[in-house]
Amino acid sequence: MQQRKLGPFKVSAIGLGCMNICHAYGAPIPPEQAERLLLSALDQGVTHFDTAALYGFGVSETLVGKALSKHRSQFTLASKCGMQGVDVAGDGKLVRVIDGRPETLRATCEAALKRLKTEVIDLYYLHRWDKQVPVEDSVGALSDLVRAGKIQTIGLSEVSAATLRKAHSVHPVTAVQNEYSLWTRNPEIAMLQACRELGVSFVAFSPVARGFLGGPLDVTAFDAKDVRRTMPRFTPEHYAANLKLLKPYEAIAREVGCTPAQLAIAWLLHKDEGILPIPGTAREDHLRDNVAAADVKLDAATMAKLEALINQQTVSGNRYSEQANREVDSETY
């Protein structure tokens, strides 16, 4: 697989987002299946694995540690802090909490190192900026972790260009991880330019548009725990409108000679050499399909056709619910 720069690291152009193996899209797959998937990704040349304390409230980090720790020298490991599960009521039930206080970030990192079975995390993101804590304070805590040798580099997730600049003034930021795909173009407002100016890598999560660009979905059959149930674009009304975009999109994929998911990932790879897509999956056939997107070639005419078909004007519905929108800092149209 072709390689790209992720700060000081050289990694596979296509990484693996490790949320799907235990979190967000319904019932988690069996641990044995998750471990096979992770090892298969490594065998296929993936050298950028991205997880978080939030995913499965530590389960994803545990699975990554169990499956890949013996091969630690062969890949770049990214994880996230600042958003995790907390037993708020004291009843044993964990709920998602955004907490960017320095003491919390330090404790989360220590727990992550144990779960990941590693002495150092290569890239450690602030998963969400806790708006109750100055971002400079949170990044200052992460810079302490760099000096302590617990993490190598610092990243930010779902932030604006202005917040990136504030953070970068405290400690160099290696990467920003925001949602980016044909149907979520928000990074084009200001973030991509800021990353170019500062020399920051851009990691694109949900490059296949939460599965939408992989082909038609039965939104009525989503599992009760599927986060897309709360996302406006997947409600029946908006999804019916968005579905009209899929047939012409799939026609372009046929013209190119690739699958719809590969087309979505290839579009990102062709947008800028500083962009690193991290599609997630729980299925090995989808993994193979995604990895093969690195070989898809798109000319300027095809890029223009795709961008004219699917963009912020043609997609129906917001990407997040009102509550989720309040939690992020990234620019919106």
Contact (Cβ atoms closer than 8 angstroms) between residue 38 and residue 283 = no
Q: Specify which residues 10 forms β-bridges with.
A: 5
Contact (Cβ atoms closer than 8 angstroms) between residue 196 and residue 190 = no
Residue 55 annotated among the catalytic residues of the structure: yes
Contact (Cβ atoms closer than 8 angstroms) between residue 201 and residue 7 = yes
Residue that the structure tokens 């975009």 belong to: 245
Count CB neighbours of 273 within 10 A: 12
Q: Specify which residues 110 forms β-bridges with.
A: none
Contact (Cβ atoms closer than 8 angstroms) between residue 231 and residue 321 = yes
* Given the residues 55, 125, 180, 249, the one annotated as active site: 55
Q: What is the largest CA-CA distance in the chain?
A: 57
**Quick one: 147 exposed, middle or buried, by C-beta within 10 A (0-12, 13-18, 19+)?**
exposed
Point out the residues that are catalytic: 55
